Amino acid sequence: MNPTDISRHPALEIACDESGWEGSNFAAANSDVIAYASVRLSVDDAEACVRLLRGRTERQHHEFKAGHLIRNTDGAGLAAFLGQDGPVHGRARVHLTHKSCFIIGRVLDIFLGDFADTVSLGLRPDPRLAAQATALCRSGQEIFGRDRWQAFLSATNLVLRENRHPKVHGPVDAFFDQVDALRATVGTTADGWLAGLLGDLADARPGGYAARIRLIENHVLQPVLEPLLPALARTVLHWSAGTQPIAIVHDEQSALTERRIQRLEHVLAEPPLELIRPPAQGRFLQFRQTDSRTEPRVQVADVLAGVTRKIASGGPLRSSHPELSELIQPYLDPASCWCAWPADRAV
């Protein structure tokens, strides 16, 4: 297939929305999960889906949300929505981001990985650092204790944030002080991988200021604390298979600016990734934001994202209806930034 052929293919329209995004303070968030859902539905099918989900709810004239479905139905109702005979089965995808895993991965990326993960939109992370981030996130609280671990996560979040009046030295010093505190906590009893990782981080302190400056200078187009961009990149690749132009209809989201969308397309198309084949004319990735209250396809994506996030987060819903964990499996992006449980255990 040559670029001219690709340009003749009509764009595949996908509706997207997220659940769990609360801003850049990941360490103190109410939810530990972000779910980014995409659905391939016609407007008519989406409207029919929303009518089905509403049932006899009293909120007929308001936007239907995941919370309404969870409150107004039992496990059987959720199972009907997610199951093989449900309205979105085989026509939807969900990318999960575990917030602690994300910020740990990104802090290793900027101090040890030369921004490889950030620059590639999460598509080409350093495998060794990605594995270490997962291992550290899974075991950190158990090894270091809740207070020490939370202090480390807070310092990690702070050093990654680009505030209105960003500082360089203070956040970097605070982060590496926490690294030293973790090393002192475990002493010589740390496992080999953990001692090695903390040692590598401690050794990175001299270059910490330069990494922080780079983060600040590039934050507009390469934001290190923006998980929706990797989620969107994975979504585009899933639905397009690298050749089918995509038109995204998205709920209003300030983080997804036109400049960032253009950069996303450029990164996917150009070396070293070259994961999509742009058309001879026009854009491979079209992006339109809309008010979800007037777009039923986005409402369905929002419901799917919210339901999946609630199930993945655990708590009473999953405890009461453990079968729901199995039902969300077909929807999940296997490349999700997820480390809440070992890989051989279902979400």
Q: Average of pLDDT values for 234-249? A: 97
Whether 240 is covered by a domain: the verdict is: no
Report pLDDT for 6.
45
Q: What is the helix (H) or strand (E) element at residue 287, kind and residue range?
A: strand 285-290
- Cα dihedral 211→215→218→220 (10° resolution): 180
Total tally of structural domains belonging to the chain = 1
Cβ-Cβ contacts under 8 Å for 317 (sequence gap 6 or more) = 70, 310, 311, 324
Whether 284 is covered by a domain: the verdict is: no
Per the CB < 8 A criterion, the answer to whether 162 and 219 are in contact is yes
Whether 342 is covered by a domain: the verdict is: no
Per the CB < 8 A criterion, the answer to whether 285 and 261 are in contact is yes
Q: Read out DSSP for 227-259?
A: THHHHHHHHHHHHHTTTS-EEEEEE--TTS-HH
Strands (E) in 31-161, as ranges, are 33-39, 92-98
Whether 232 is covered by a domain: the verdict is: no
Quick check: 216 pLDDT over 70?
Answer: yes
**pTM of this prediction?**
0.92
Whether 111 is covered by a domain: the verdict is: yes
Quick check: 165 pLDDT over 90?
Answer: no
Which residues span the domain enclosing 162?
Answer: 99-217
Least confident of 1-10, 18-27, 43-52: 1-10
Question: Integer distance in angstroms from the first to the last C-alpha of the chain?
Answer: 38
Q: Which of 39, 308, 90 is nearest to 47 (CA)?
A: 39
Q: Average of pLDDT values for 252-265? A: 95
Distance CA 320, CA 315 (A): 9
* Residue pLDDT, tens place only, 64-74: 888 888 877 77
Neighbours of 130 (CB within 10 A): 20
Q: Is the dihedral of CA 163, 165, 168, 172 positive or negative?
A: negative
Whether 254 is covered by a domain: the verdict is: no
Q: Which two tokens stand for residue 32?
A: 């530990």
* Residue pLDDT, tens place only, 26-63: 998 888 999 999 999 999 999 999 988 887 555 555 77
Whether 142 is covered by a domain: the verdict is: yes
